[in-house]
Amino acid sequence: MRKAERKSTAARILRGRLIPVIGAVIVFFVSLSVLYMGEHVGLSDNGDFRRVLLSNNISYADDTDYHYLFKEEYVMDKLDTDNVFTAMWTAWASNAGEEIYSSPHFLLIKISKELNVIANAVTGAPLHSYSIFWLALLYIFMLTVAAFVIFTFFADEKPKVQAAVFLLFIFMFCDAGYLLYFNSFYGEPLQYTALLMLISFGMLIYKRPTVPKVVGFYIALYFFAGAKLANIPYSLLVALLAILISMMRRDKLFKIGVIVCAVSGIFSIVGLYSSIPQWMDRDTTYQAVFFGITKNSEDPESDLKELGVDEKYAVLAGTHAYMDGDEYPIDITTEEFERGFYDKVDKVGITAFWLRHPLRFTRELAMAIENSAYIRPPVVGNSKTVPMELTNKWSGWSRLRASLRFLFEPWVIFAAFLLITGYMIFINIFYIHNHRIETPEKKYMIASLDILILGLWINLMLPVICNGEGDITKHMFLFTNCIDILFLVLILGIVNMPLKQMIRPVLVLAVLSGIFYIHFPKHGMTFGSIGGRPIEWEIQAELDGGRRLIVTREPVAYLPFDDDNNRWEYSDLRAWLNSGFLDEFTDAERARIEDSENLVPLDYMSRSEADSGYHTHYWNFTRSMAGDMGRTAYVKRVTDRVFLPTLDMMKDIDVPSAYWILCPYTSNDFMQRFVNDDGFVLHTDVRNEKGVRAALIIKPEGN
């Protein structure tokens, strides 16, 4: 009997060690295949690469269309040597200058440079060649370590829980939405992998506290804090867990180890904060005020006065820190502006302003939540060859997430956060009042949950406070990551329930998923023909005199917008809609079509032809904000019989498939915006084919 028990114990131990290893290996190869099997995919540069490349002496091997194409090959500057050891020494050096700042992110980039030098020496390639593959490999390794630790934590759980953890991790956290960041110079991949490692080591400390696990926890915390400097305040809060970790074992060596780790971590994180360059703080402050507080304000003058800033700067409301100089109504580079704005505003004052205006702040947070729908930034391309193409490789969770609208629906998120926060407050009061926290492990668990809940609120509010609406989708990445982790925990909780108890939460999730798809179909009509079939239209609006604004229910064709330009009035698509599309309409039907004047946004290069407006149209991928500040943007009046759906129609139009809309991507002259099949407004090269939904105004029959 004892022999059988020993065999059973040995088998259980073997499974507990072997299954996490197998799971981690699968995570490694799935991640590698998503990025490099078939076409290599990653993220293009939105402008953030510059400071990273400059700091680390790296430049593009080919800088053509780098804003829209993923670039895999770069050049390591200052490596004009054939000696491998000299090259390795030089590759480790940093640049110096006013735009340079410190970050543990750079440590990984330097290691990737060394790996490139070694690989080049082995393969005979020029020593200065840099492939981002080696940086991505480091991130994949970190993700693999996090996966191994998490799988190890659940190794003693029921087989169905172990299976759920493994499958959900592969499906959700190896999704291309996350992994595409690995092939980039953004700080998000380090933030993502460090967060998963931080959580995983925290779980292991709870289970069996040891000094090596505490060391791992604080190393992960340091990398998490430095990946995005906005993480520093929250990281200092997390570091306080050392107080409770030190209580989990009585031996002095463990307590000393925890204290040393915590103190070292806190000093390192404070050092990161002190290294934030002035230009970075100024840019985010400008964004927070003029592209945040005053952007949608009814009285920007009063807002500036409340912030202690001269009201004359209200003309800057709606501008952001990265426009060309001639787009600003006043010169923001003068000493007068520095004294009148930067010397008077800081993040503490901005935070205090929002706290005094809770309703406005709530609206801004709701906007931020809506912009957390996508994991990867929809403003940058993924392909090496096709500008602004978004890959579908291993994107099941990304696509499902966009369809599960409750994950980014403001009222659902607010309700969930308030419910969770209220529950944790009750738990804390109950245990403290009744002295029921008997063990250090329980204290650690409750404190960890408190900090996690506080982190959810911080990660929601900080992007708005620190940067306004500037690049808000990308800045919500950590919030999106945290929501996904919460959703994973919820699913695991359901999986761990007895079968009968699973029915209720599954029904709740099903209802939440389905409620957002309930809509009343718009009234329709048949008008005209194409390809020998009558065309079905939705009635978008009833106008005066019995006129109707109508749009086709389905795309009538799939066509490129043009062969090289996004100017609507000169486009091939406009020519076809107002000629060939109408070929099968009867004379009576054509007579009912009324000329329509539309205000068409112009790209930056065409602004001199604008009939009105004083800035380019600002991009936002949510339909509710697609027309944001559209009335004050550069626009040209264009008259058509048939046109594309306009920005004003975005909030109400149904979305059965991807189709062009009447709005260019205004940062260049070769990208056009379209509504994706998930309902969000994206942009792509004008030469790519998208659906064409015709819109027009018709007069009553007989007029």
Order of strands, edge to edge, in the sheet holding 695-698? Answer: 524-530, 533-542, 548-552, 695-698, 593-594
What's the average model confidence in pLDDT over 74-95?
A: 89
Report pLDDT for 577.
Answer: 97
pLDDT 10s digits, 24-39: 999 999 999 999 999 9
Q: What's the CA gap between 567 and 590, in Å, rounded?
A: 25
Q: Which two tokens stand for residue 107?
A: 């440590």
How far, in Å, CA of 343 to CA of 350, rounded? 13
- List all residues 6 or more positions away from 584 whose beta carbon is below 8 Å from its beta carbon: 528, 529, 530, 531, 532
pLDDT value of position 98 = 53
pLDDT at 99 over 70: no
pLDDT of residue 7: 53
Confidence tier at 651 by pLDDT (50, 70, 90): confident
Quote the DSSP letter at residue 170: I
- Written as six digits, the tokens of 581 are 């599309």
Angle at 461 between CA 456 and CA 464, to 5 degrees: 145
Rounded to whole angstroms, the Cα distance separating 205 from 245 reads 8
C-alpha 447/C-alpha 560 separation (Å) is: 56
Average pLDDT over residues 142-152: 95
Residue from 172, 106, 111, 113 nearest 143 by CA:
172
Q: Is the pLDDT of residue 702 over 80?
A: no
pLDDT per residue over 231-259, tens digit each?
Answer: 988 998 898 888 878 888 888 898 899 89
| pLDDT per position as a tens digit, 274-317 | 877 888 889 999 999 999 999 989 999 999 999 999 999 999 99
Token pair in block for residue 470: 């500037």
The strands making up 689-692's β-sheet, listed across from edge to edge, are 557-560, 689-692, 659-664, 671-675, 681-685
Q: Is the pLDDT of residue 1 over 60?
A: no
Place of tokens 């820190």: 321
Identify the pLDDT of residue 510. 80
DSSP 633: B
pLDDT category at 703 given cuts 50, 70, 90 is low
CB atoms within 10 A of CB 196: 24
With b meaning 16 or more CB within 10 Å and e meaning fewer, what string describes 315-326? ebbbbbbeeeee
Quote the pLDDT of residue 15: 60
DSSP 272-314: HHHT--HHHHHHHHHHHIIIIITTT-S-HHHHHHHHT--GGGG
Distance CA 75, CA 220 (A): 30
Tell me which of 509 and 545 has the higher pLDDT.
545
Q: pLDDT-based confidence at 16, cuts 50/70/90?
A: low
pLDDT at 653: 78
> Quick one: how many helices (H) and strands (E) in the chain?
25, 15
What is the tens place of the pLDDT at every residue in 369-419? Answer: 999 999 999 989 999 998 898 999 999 999 999 988 889 999 999 999 999
Helix (H) or strand (E) holding 521, with range, is none
Contact 602, 664 (CB under 8 A): yes
- Compute φ and ψ for 682, nearest 5 degrees: -120, -175
Determine which of 88-102, 247-261, 578-592 has the lowest per-residue pLDDT on average: 88-102
Lowest-confidence region among 81-85, 119-123, 338-342, 615-619 = 615-619
Q: How far apart are CA 596 and CA 574, in angstroms?
A: 13
pTM: 0.92
Mean pLDDT of the chain: 90
CB atoms within 10 A of CB 89: 13
Here the contacts of 572-575 (C-beta below 8 Å, separation 24 or greater) are 573/644, 573/660, 573/692, 574/640, 574/643
* pLDDT (average), residues 672-691: 92
Is the pLDDT assigned to residue 163 strictly greater than 90? Answer: yes
pLDDT for position 6 = 55
Q: Distance between CA atoms of 593 and 305, rounded to whole angstroms?
A: 51
Q: Which amino acid is at 605?
A: M
**Most confident of the following: 497-506, 654-663, 683-692:** 683-692
User: Closest Cα to residue 105, out of 227, 209, 236?
Assistant: 227
Mean per-residue pLDDT, 187-205 = 94
Average pLDDT over residues 130-159: 95
510-544 pLDDT tens trace: 877 777 776 677 789 999 999 999 999 999 999 99
Position 422 confidence tier, pLDDT thresholds 50, 70, 90: very high
Q: Report the distance separating Cα 72 and Cα 67, nearest Å.
A: 13
- Of 203, 192, 288, which Cα lies nearest the Cα of 231? 192
What residues does 536 pair with on adjacent strands? Answer: 526
DSSP string, 640-677: ESSBPPPGGGTTT---SS-EEEEEE-TTSSSEEEEE-T
Q: What are φ and ψ of residue 673, in 5° steps?
A: -90, 150
CA distance 340 to 403: 46
Neighbours of 412 (CB within 10 A): 16
Stretch 594-620: mean pLDDT:
89
- How many angstroms separate the CA atoms of 66 and 184, rounded? 12
